[in-house]
A and B are shown apart, each in its own frame.
Chain A
Amino acid sequence: MHIIDRRRDASGKSLGNRQRFIRRARALVRHAVREASKDRKITDTGRGGEVTVPADGVREPSLRRAAKGGMREYLLPGNKNYIEGDTIERPPSGGGAGGASANGEGEDEFRFVLSDDEFIDLFLEDLELPDLAKRQVMGEEKSQPRRAGYRSSGPPSQLSVPRTMRNSLSRRIALRRPKPDEIAALEDRLKELEDAGADEDEILSLRAELERQGLRARAIPFIDPVDVRYRRYESVPKPVAQAVMFCLMDVSGSMDEHLKDLAKRFFSLLYLFLSRRYRYVEVVFIRHTHEAKEVDEETFFHSRETGGTVVSTALEEMIRVQADRFPANAWNIYAAQASDGDNLPIDNEKTVALLKTVILPLCQYYAYIEVGREPEERRRGGEPPSTLWRAYDLIQSPQIPMAMRKVRDRRDIYPVFRELFERKSHAASTGA
């Protein structure tokens, strides 16, 4: 008995069906993905996961008998004390006694798990980096192999059969290697003459000819080592698009855990988005109070600092880091700033000047997110714009790559993010 081991075969035969299903239910799934992402932890933002879509959208109808009405018989096992003629109270709709044929499709929603990639693709569908094409900067050059003709030695895996055969053929033609047909024709003719008892000389000359040709065929090989060609590669330096993302955050006393959480969500989304678009994405975390410092992620989100709020320090730090490590001609630079809007009033002027003259010309995009409290926690009614908001609002214009939005609740993060990066026919991102 021969038993076949299929375990090494590629699995995922259903991938095509799966993709068709997701495409079919795209609108539903997209909606479900967005719903699901609202309640997720930041670390899970980029993961796949379970989504639920209404079953109605992916229903497969058939002509079948209704679940109710008419005369029905049920055959049930395990009778204990019923006797013929007993009546049983009708169970409240469906269920109960109606188990005899349980193949009705009584589902009203449909749950399934999306893979990481599927999730993110749907999640970030229709989003686009503003001005990506126009200002895409190619960074460091990485060498990549590229086909470059043929060579006469190399590893067997790179053997080029067509080229080798071509050489072989041209050599055989040039050296007039007899073809098998020709030899066969000669043999036939010889046999014919022998059978016919023809002229001795003719037969002899034919034999000699045949021998000569046979010798030739043996001496000139079908494939000679000189024919063999291998594919040749050259490594060509190729620039790779890379991006750096600066996260700037105010960590002064007024930024509590809730506001930091909102900011962090925004940063996560931005990171996810950039890493889908660029092969290499670096992240730089800069936090500031009245002074700014580059820190690691853990410190950035979790340690508390006290002090005043001077935004310009963060911008200065960013400029320093950028000049130090991320030359503008090699990196696509993105920056996202999160703050509750407080700033030392006298610092505004400097901040705006830095932003306008140094940072914005460097950046592909600069997003400012102002995080705030839930509406009911705000005491004042028509809440006046914060110091920083007013300052930034002054430099807003369609020409500069900067956008600003307010976020109050976790639920707003994604819509705001979408709004910032939505694919637009005409790129015009202005403030709120």
Chain B
Amino acid sequence: MKIKPAKNKLLFEGADWNFETLARIYDGVAEIGLGELGLDIYRPRIEVITSEQMLDAYASTGMPLFYRHWSFGKQFVRNETLYRKGWQGLAYEIVINSNPCVVYLLEENTATMQTLVLAHAAFGHNHFFKNNYVFQQWTDADGILDYLAFAKNYIAECEDRYGVSEVERVLDAAHALQNQGIHRYPGKRTIDLRSEEKRERERREHGERLFNDLWRTVPEQGKKTKKRSERDRRRALLGLPEENILYFLEKTSPRLKPWQREVIRIVRHIAQYFYPQRQTKMMNEGCATYTHYEIMQRLVDRGQITEGAYFEFLHSHTNVVAQPNFDDRRYYGLNPYALGFAMMKDVERICVSPQAEDRQWFPDIAGNGDPMGTLKDIWANYRDESFVSQFLSPHVIRKLGLFLVVDDYKEKDLSVDAIHNERGYARVRRALARHYDVARHDPDIQIVDVDLEGDRRLELRHHIVDGVTLDEDDTERVLQHLANLWGYEVYLIETAGEGEPATKHHAEPVHPFV
């Protein structure tokens, strides 16, 4: 690539930057990001912070403000120790899914890194936050900062009023259950009149199309009037089974005080806010990495950054997308940056210059000549699991040398189940999609029954998948927290289905909240 020496066009020279340079860099990046790539972003709010402030931000899961709890302090001292010993570097940036989109830049970054980071976070992540459907469905970017401010004040007030340790107990218990505090399915939306009418019309038309007078002549069987048992009745009243344990406690727990319910609600809301991040980790990073790569390339092509800066960028970029092999000492699972970037680059390749294989696997997008449009559609409408199951191509599987190992505890050895060949592609792809399915990683636990008028014993059921049970030690501890919150006995039954062997955990409140 030829870089024209166009000094006046350069965004910066050397490693140093000041706020003027930063503004110029932002404008340069924005020109490409918004103009050429056509990204759609929340207005960014860029803030420069020190490494110490970065450590602070780490402790509160990156949020600019958060309520206080010892577990964040634990996080803080851990990171601080690792950082001070030099075992762990700091992130170059933190970006928050909010509107305006808060982007923290570390002051120690060089000008090149600031460019890269702005492209990565202020444009890549930001576009993803604003457009992806899981974020749209589950998070409220406009309100989150206000909500966090409310949560922080509310919990601080509770601490003043009821004592730090009382609040801490509720938070401990709620935190233990926060993965069980998520609504995975959107509730019913209130539909406006027009779409209601449309739906009604479509339903009638469908009925008319299928109308057949003969059905009228079919003799009707005596309607089975199944009498609902008492158990079914009360379960229906309480909306059981319910997998959102925190929600159930907040609404139904007989002994909690209003402020305790509100604290539980805060923990639940925040867990819900972070849930999409878990579902889209790989795509989110892939989108940001693809965006920064694209923007940096174009900056070089336009002669807006120097050759030296370009090499610095390449060095950092290659580090980010490196995927060590499974037998490498550095191997630490699949690198979401590497996989996301590789897959998105591959989508681009399929759109622009597809092979015969790609035409067969991806007839919809192969050779459509519009990689950016295709990717934007993907960024908007998929999450990790569906993205992999739709767009992981044989090409990427071969490139990464992905293979599937099955570990069945009944067998003596592990077995290689599929590799990167014709027979294996589909199975590798399915397995990888499962790997990214968050709902499969979280155990399926539901509250199935409680008799509020009787002994108020709470009954939970864990549906065992693939024979993987719950971690025994932790389960006992969490159940203890749950029993304290509920105020009465709690049972958890683990079973793979009817007639399968079941294990039972049990806890009674020792120190209930009253």
Binding site for B on A (CB under 8 A): 1-7, 9, 11-14, 16-25, 50, 58-80, 82-90, 97-102, 110-113
18 contacts between A and B (CB under 8 A): A6-B53, A9-B53, A13-B56, A16-B68, A20-B68, A21-B74, A24-B168, A25-B70, A50-B81, A60-B71, A62-B176, A62-B177, A71-B408, A80-B401, A84-B419, A86-B415, A90-B413, A113-B84
Q: Quick check: B55 and A63 within 8 Å, CB to CB?
A: no
Q: Find chain A residues with CB under 8 A from B406 CB.
A: 71-74
Q: How far is the CA of A69 from the CA of B407 in the complex (A)?
A: 9
Q: Which of B47, B77, B172 contacts A113 (CB 8 A)?
A: B77
When each residue 400-421 of chain B gets 1 if its CB lies under 8 Å from chain A and 0 otherwise, what string results? 1111111111001111111111
When each residue 46-73 of chain B gets 1 if its CB lies under 8 Å from chain A and 0 otherwise, what string results? 1111101101100110000000111111
- A-B pairs, top 8 by smallest CB distance, nearest first, are A78-B325, A21-B73, A70-B468, A70-B467, A17-B73, A112-B77, A76-B326, A61-B477
Q: A-side binding surface: helix, strand, loop or mixed?
A: loop
Q: Which of B47, B70, B325, B477 contacts A77 (CB 8 A)?
A: B325
Q: Find chain B residues with CB under 8 A from A50 CB.
A: 81
Q: Quick check: B420 and A79 within 8 Å, CB to CB?
A: yes
Q: Which of B77, B172, B333, B435 contacts A18 (CB 8 A)?
A: B77
**Which residue on B lies nearest to A16, using beta carbons?**
B68
**Which residue on A lies nearest to B76, using beta carbons?**
A14
Q: Find chain A residues with CB under 8 A from B423 CB.
A: 84
Q: Find chain A residues with CB under 8 A from B408 CB.
A: 71-72
Q: How far is the CA of A259 from the CA of B471 in the complex (A)?
A: 53
B477: min CB distance to chain A, Å: 4
> Within 8 Å of chain A (Cβ to Cβ): is B220?
no
On whether A77 and B401 interact (CB within 8 A), knowing A63-B474, A84-B417, A84-B421, the answer reads yes
Q: Quick check: B421 and A77 within 8 Å, CB to CB?
A: no
Q: Which of A9, A60, A72 contacts B466 (CB 8 A)?
A: A72
Q: Quick check: A12 and B71 within 8 Å, CB to CB?
A: no
Q: Quick check: B107 and A18 within 8 Å, CB to CB?
A: no
Q: How far is the CA of A88 from the CA of B69 in the complex (A)?
A: 45
Interface residues of B in 318-360 (CB under 8 A from A): 323-328, 331-334
Q: Find chain B residues with CB under 8 A from A111 CB.
A: 78, 81
Q: How far is the CA of A166 from the CA of B89 in the complex (A)?
A: 58
Q: How far is the CA of A83 from the CA of B416 in the complex (A)?
A: 7
B462: min CB distance to chain A, Å: 8
On whether A14 and B59 interact (CB within 8 A), knowing A69-B409, A100-B435, the answer reads yes
Q: Find chain A residues with CB under 8 A from B72 CB.
A: 14, 17, 21
> Within 8 Å of chain A (Cβ to Cβ): is B22?
yes
Q: Quick check: A14 and B415 within 8 Å, CB to CB?
A: no
Q: Quick check: B402 and A6 within 8 Å, CB to CB?
A: no
Q: How far is the CA of A83 from the CA of B435 in the complex (A)?
A: 21
**Which residue on A lies nearest to B492, using beta carbons?**
A63
Q: Quick check: B471 and A23 within 8 Å, CB to CB?
A: no
A57: min CB distance to chain B, Å: 11
Q: Find chain A residues with CB under 8 A from B172 CB.
A: 60
Q: How far is the CA of A86 from the CA of B443 in the complex (A)?
A: 30
> Within 8 Å of chain A (Cβ to Cβ): is B510?
no
On whether A3 and B26 interact (CB within 8 A), knowing A73-B435, A113-B77, the answer reads yes
